[in-house]
Amino acid sequence: MKTLSATGTARRFSDLLDVVERDGGTFVVVRRGRAVARIEPTRVANGGRAKELLRATPTDRRWATELHDLRESLAVEERRWTA
């Protein structure tokens, strides 16, 4: 993983994206000596894994009741707007 200054990143951004896309490279962007960002390939995601987890998890029969109770406990706040 390469470390780059924020200025160097700005100057070479298009080239960095090429490396990320082509080679899967990862870069850490440093500003004033502190790591502030990471540029890396995106992770491919889809709903398949989420659906698997939901199907494998037993239904919580109390959920609907707890949700109802929570909604009932909420109060609408009346506030005057001042300009």
| Over residues 48-54, mean pLDDT | 85
According to the model, what pLDDT value does residue 65 have?
Answer: 93
Domain boundaries 2-39, CATH class: alpha beta
Predicted TM-score (pTM) of the model is 0.52
Task: Using the Cα atoms of residue 38, residue 44, residue 46 and residue 50 in order, give the sign of their dihedral.
Answer: negative
Pick from 21, 25, 24, 23: nearest CA to 4 = 25
- State the Cα angle at 29 between 45 and 23, rounded to 5°: 50
pLDDT digits (tens, 9 = 90+) for 12-38: 999 999 999 999 999 999 999 999 999
| Extents of the domains making up the chain | 2-39
According to the model, what pLDDT value does residue 21 have?
Answer: 93
